Copies of this chain bind each other. A is one copy, B any other.
Amino acid sequence: MTKKYDKLVTNAAGRLVPTVINGQGAIPFMGVGQFKPIGHRYGPAISSCADYPDDGNKLVPTLRDALEMCGLKDGMTISTHHHFRDGDLIANQIFDIAHDLGVKNLVWAPSASFPCHEYLIKYLEDGTINRIEGSMNGPLGKFTSFGKMSGLAVLRSHGGRYQAIQDGELKIDITVIGATCCDPFGNANGLNGTSASGGLGFALADSQYAGKVVVVTDNLVDFPCVPWQIQGNYVDYTVLVDKVGIPEKIVSGTTQITKSPDRLLLAEMTARFCDVAGIIKDGFSFQAGAGGTALAVGDFFYKIMKERGIKARFARGGSNLYLVKMLEEGYLDFILDGQTFDLHGVRSMAVNPNHLMTTPFTSYNYHGKGNFAGLVDVAILGATEIDLDFNGNVVTHSDGYLLHGIGGWQNCLFSKTVIIPIPLFRDRIPVIVDKVTTLCGPGELIDVIVTERGICINPLRTDLIEKVQGSDLPLVSIKELKEEAEKICGIPQKPEFLNEVVAAIKWVDGTVIDAVWKLSE
């Protein structure tokens, strides 16, 4: 049996990481922009039209038929996508089928996982699934933290997932794409149909590079299904089912503006900082990430822009009611949308040509010739921990549990200014720490920390410091923030990790930036 990992070394960030992961070589993190890829993009097997139906009709009766025709077998890597977020109905079905067929040792490579996927723990336990390469949220995260996954979990950002698939690090054997509109040929989108979920960007890499591509839909239309967010020319089989996903469950905790007064304060301070620093000006751009606070920041931007008649060129990130309103009222020229976060976003993308679907390729892939995230003036992001060197953690909590995926977080660190509004402590646990439990993003890319007790600018950003000098913004040093937190909460106890790696955290270039360590149950 393949070892979960092997050959630990200390990487450029001082973290101990494996250089062999699930039997495959891995490169330790070498510093931001330091690793130069030397290989070639992955080339999937060449297909021939001679092997596909003359009339273009690729329909097969059931998902099970499709998986069997794809040659589902032990050890394969199967991918799914999170356009329905917690309303996904596909992933669990796939592994039910695999289990029925007696297939073992699969790798599940979702673009993200959600609480609904707790269901899959039984298949992780019985050997149907060897490991997850994707995100581990909640129960799946705990399961991983306890070292119960057979293989080593691998976490990647959205852009890192595209990079890994493109570069051939993550070879997908079969991808199953849930689409709310599809023709028999496989052209598909998430915009039309009663289950409409928005853009299908997270499935792009899989459609381009997977060995076999299946599209499952509950809304089959005549050729051509337009827009073809997924191109039928990449698709092997199409399947019609009763219900492909639950769009109402797209809206979740991370996709609604916060109502907490504390967080609204953080959001307001963040917007004020941007204003004082001269970031909010005609033609600027911003990223409004998931999470209630980030969304609220966008809303405060809107107020400032309205007051002064300022127009932004574009907003990047998940779309929702608030961004759509700004677009429709003319405060935004474009939404560059990575993920529709509510049904207002879905509707807008379907009808407004200036509400554009973006993909992890356009926005986040670090192994492209630039990407959109780098062009954004300001990105508002979250974190579970920030340390004295401004390093950020988004996957584990200070108690050591792996509880979140990376999402687009690492990718957005390349925006021109990165601001992290966070409370000084959560449940009496300080958020500013001496050293992050898990390193997800190097401090040199994190510019500003906004807390209810003060705003802290990374000393590397002398330009920002200069711009806000003399303002009434409550500027503090990160050391002061940490001390203040510890004054209130006491010095937090470090988790006691066992000497075993349970997950690898990839950086945007495919190198290993940190490892997550085992906890005892």
Interface residues of A (CB under 8 A from B): 33-56, 58, 166-168, 185-186, 213, 222-224, 226-228, 231-236, 283, 313-314, 334, 336, 353-354, 356, 361-362, 365-372, 374-375, 414, 416, 509
Contacts and interface: CB of A to CB of B under 8 A. Distances in A.
Contact of A48 (B42, B47, B224, B509): B509
A48 B37 contact: yes
B369 A222 contact: no
A367 B47 contact: yes
Question: Which applies to chain A's interface (DSSP): helix, strand, loop or mixed?
Answer: loop
A336 B58 CA distance: 20
A370 B224 contact: no
A37 B48 CA distance: 7
A400 B56 CA distance: 38
A374 B54 contact: yes
A366 B49 CA distance: 5
Contacts of A314: 223-224
A362 B46 contact: no
Given A226-B334, A233-B361, A371 B49 contact: yes
- Number of chain copies forming the complex: 2
Contact of A40 (B45, B283, B362, B365): B45
Contact of A185 (B46, B186, B370): B370
Contacts of A52: 369-370
A356 B36 contact: no
B49 A36 contact: no
A58 B368 CA distance: 13
Contact of A370 (B36, B40, B232, B509): B232
Nearest to A159: B49
Given A56-B370, A185-B370, A226 B50 contact: no
A97 B10 CA distance: 50
Nearest to A414: B49
Nearest to A32: B50
B46 A41 contact: yes
Contacts of A232: 362, 369-370
Q: Give the most central of A48, A50, A222: most B CB within 10 Å.
A: A48
Contact of A43 (B35, B42, B185): B42
A58 B224 contact: no
A362 B233 contact: yes
A49 B283 contact: no
Given A47-B367, A185-B375, 14 more contacts: A33-B50, A39-B45, A40-B44, A40-B46, A46-B166, A46-B167, A46-B367, A48-B367, A49-B371, A186-B369, A223-B313, A226-B354, A227-B356, A233-B362
